[in-house]
Amino acid sequence: MKVRRVLLVSRPRGVAQAENFAIEETELSPLAGGQIRVRNAFLSVEPAMRGWIADRGNYSVPVETGSVMRSLAVGEVVESNAAEFRPGEVVMGWFGWQDYADVAPSAVVRRVKEVDLPVSLALGVLGINGVTALIGLETIGDPKPGETVLVSTAAGAVGSAVGQIAKILGCRTVGVAGGADKTRLCREVFGYDVAIDYRAAGLSEAIAAACPGGANVYFDNTSGAISDAVWPRLAVGGRVVICGTASIPSWDPWPTGPRLERHLLVKRARAQGFVVFDYADRWETSVARLAGWVRAGKLRYVEDILDGIEACPDALAGLYRGENRGKRLIRLRR
Amino acid sequence: MKVRRVLLVSRPRGVAQAENFAIEETELSPLAGGQIRVRNAFLSVEPAMRGWIADRGNYSVPVETGSVMRSLAVGEVVESNAAEFRPGEVVMGWFGWQDYADVAPSAVVRRVKEVDLPVSLALGVLGINGVTALIGLETIGDPKPGETVLVSTAAGAVGSAVGQIAKILGCRTVGVAGGADKTRLCREVFGYDVAIDYRAAGLSEAIAAACPGGANVYFDNTSGAISDAVWPRLAVGGRVVICGTASIPSWDPWPTGPRLERHLLVKRARAQGFVVFDYADRWETSVARLAGWVRAGKLRYVEDILDGIEACPDALAGLYRGENRGKRLIRLRR
């Protein structure tokens, strides 16, 4: 049987573009001992992939050129040489950008138990994005009822969940997003109290007006100009969740920005980097809480689904061009 | 009776110089009801005074021009119209740069109980500096035995205590200080495992060599070039105590530096601003621990004593010129 796989063929400076990938068609080999074969239904496209591809200063082993692009995916076990999995089980894990994945059981992040909900959610609001939002917000952001939580990339897969969870926890929410479409999404779908378009003039003033007592929590996915406008508006005792740096096209050479130390000192603020894979022990309970909120209609999501593996090579670059609305996914079968 | 007081007469940009102060001689008025009169023995000179004088972005109400320079001091109650204090008691508090202070009891930070030790220590290793070192290191730095603790201004009043307390807590210590004299102090008096002269070439390489596994805790009093060399050497899970920004001459205009967000994210590091006055409830127990270490010879200190109130106006500028060795104090009487 023929299968198609997306290979990283060259290492980009900055964000990987379509030409850094190639689609290869090969014959499926027989399944090796101890492995399972997963037929992927949806592949994930994440901002963090930029870091997985980068060849320096990072929190994960770089994807090697010539190998299948690393990705979370959700699919069905179709064959198993491992005692702990049976054909028919729906699993989410490190299955890569390919039709079929032959992997060790350790590549499975979890069995998908929320069978009443769309399976694609296992990659978004019930997957890495929702879990990142919930654990990052609670452990580092530590929001208290009545506090103001400010979120960058507020309409994105992580940001939209952060904003809604902060509301569920009793906070005021301020979302920063790019363009009228996304700010409308922020207000109408994700329930932000205030949505600010960072592309419009007066970002700093808009943030000040939206946070009269300062931002108690800043959940940041951007770094760059948005953060430069937010940091001076932190409340005393503010907490900054450093979850992503989407606004910085490259860290080579290392970019400069306004020094943060004085803000941290004067505001007695705390900033901490967050990588969800450090919190594996909290994954299941987090998904259960998120699923409960989804079923109750309190946690909404938007998916940006591209059809077919041919969409993969340009999908990450498109994310950094800001063309997606909600969680970007590649659908391989309906 | 005549008394002399040091007034802030003009507001500097950056660090206050001698010409920003004037010494005034006046007649002591009769003590008002409810107040106490303290005869100051030692006045403190702190890097933080730069912030108390600044007219923007700060964590305390600015000292007004025309008023006595704000300062901690230690002295003896010589007259009391307040029930809770009696003449003869030794107190440390907000008594200002002056011979005598007529103040409300609320200006007293604490009664000095360590009467077996020099009274000047109440302003240094048993005062704001030692307490800052201990609480800042423990609450934000959270050092574990065997970890590497890196300290900037390592020979200074706060830094030297941080390094020694970290050793007491079982850590490896690396001190960064300016010049051969101070690095020698670091090694010979304060017991750092490694002392690095930031004025010598190869700071970044020296830090890397001193911290082969990265710095688990960075206790920073500087910001600027030293921090720029340290941040890339943080260990995964590193903690940064932001205690001062002595290397930055002015925050107007706001200076730029290498962006910290990526370091925070990749290293899952935490940075937090520390202002000791937020921890008033821990002051007494902290002083008791520090005094125990001083008596046991485990916590050493160096004092840089200037004689007479005439030394006040230039004392702060001199601190920023780096001319002091250890805690700078003004002695008014022996």
> Is there a contact between A59 and B268 if contact means CB atoms under 8 Å apart?
yes
How many C-beta atoms lie closer than 10 Å to residue A121's C-beta?
25
How many angstroms separate the most distant Cα atoms in chain A?
63
> Is there a contact between A258 and B256 if contact means CB atoms under 8 Å apart?
yes
Nearest-CB residue to B242 (from A254, A264, A272)? A264
Cβ-contact A247, A257 below 8 angstroms: no
CA A226 to CA A152: how far, in whole Å? 7
Tell me the domain boundaries of chain B.
2-123+302-331, 128-277
Chain A, nearest residue to B272 by Cα = A270
**Is the domain A2-124+302-331 a CATH 3.90.180.10 member?**
yes
| Residue among A276, A194, A189 at smallest CA distance from A241 | A276
| Residue among B327, B324, B300 at smallest CA distance from B117 | B300
Contacts of B243 in chain A (CB under 8 A): 265
Q: How confident is the model at residue A58 (pLDDT cuts 50, 70, 90)?
A: low
- B204 contact A CB<8A: no
b/e code B236-250 from CB counts within 10 Å (16+ = b)? eebbbbbbbbbbbee
DSSP secondary structure string for all residues of B159-228: HHHHHHHHHHTT-EEEEEESSHHHHHHHHHTS--SEEEETTSS-HHHHHHHH-TT-EEEEEES--HHHHH
For B10-41, the pLDDT digits (tens) are 999 888 999 999 999 999 999 999 999 999 99
> Is there a contact between B242 and A265 if contact means CB atoms under 8 Å apart?
yes
> Is there a contact between B268 and A278 if contact means CB atoms under 8 Å apart?
yes
CA B278 to CA B76: how far, in whole Å? 26
pTM: 0.91
* Per-residue pLDDT at B216: 98
For A252-300, the pLDDT digits (tens) are 899 999 999 999 999 999 999 999 989 999 999 999 999 999 999 999 9
For domain A128-277, the CATH superfamily is: NAD(P)-binding Rossmann-like Domain (3.40.50.720)
* Per-residue pLDDT at B326: 84
- B62 contact A CB<8A: no
Q: How confident is the model at residue A57 (pLDDT cuts 50, 70, 90)?
A: low
For B67-121, the pLDDT digits (tens) are 999 999 999 999 999 999 999 999 999 999 999 999 999 999 999 999 899 999 9
Chain B, nearest residue to A222 by Cα = B261
Cβ-contact B240, B209 below 8 angstroms: no
Contacts of B280 in chain A (CB under 8 A): none
- B242 contact A CB<8A: yes
- B25 contact A CB<8A: no
* Per-residue pLDDT at B242: 98
What percent of chain B clears pLDDT 90, i.e. is strictly above it? 88
- A204 contact B CB<8A: no
Nearest-CB residue to B256 (from A220, A257, A265)? A257
CA B290 to CA B157: how far, in whole Å? 13
* Per-residue pLDDT at B329: 97
The ipTM (two decimal places) reads 0.89
* Per-residue pLDDT at A79: 98
Contacts of A255 in chain B (CB under 8 A): 258-259
Q: Of residues A281 and B61, which shows the higher confidence score?
A: A281
* Per-residue pLDDT at A60: 73
CA A294 to CA B182: how far, in whole Å? 60
* Per-residue pLDDT at B97: 98
Fold of B2-123+302-331: Quinone Oxidoreductase; Chain A, domain 1 (3.90.180)
DSSP A244: -
Q: How far is A6 from chain B (nearest CA, A)?
A: 26
pLDDT average, residue stretch A35-43: 98
Cβ-contact B51, B79 below 8 angstroms: no
Give the burial class of B107: count Cβ atoms within 10 A of its Cβ; 0-12 exposed, 13-18 middle, 19 or more buried: middle
Helix (H, G, I), strand (E, B) or coil at B295: helix
* Per-residue pLDDT at A59: 63
Cβ-contact A92, A108 below 8 angstroms: yes
For B295-309, the pLDDT digits (tens) are 999 999 999 999 999
* Per-residue pLDDT at B243: 97
* Per-residue pLDDT at B58: 59
- Residue of B58, B218, B242 for testing the chain A interface, max A β-carbons within 10 Å: B242
Residues ≥6 apart with Cβ < 8 Å to A135: A274, A276, A279, A282, A286
Nearest-CB residue to A266 (from B58, B227, B243)? B58
Chain A, nearest residue to B58 by Cα = A266
Contacts of B269 in chain A (CB under 8 A): 272-273
- A302 contact B CB<8A: no
Question: Does B241 score more than 60 pLDDT?
Answer: yes
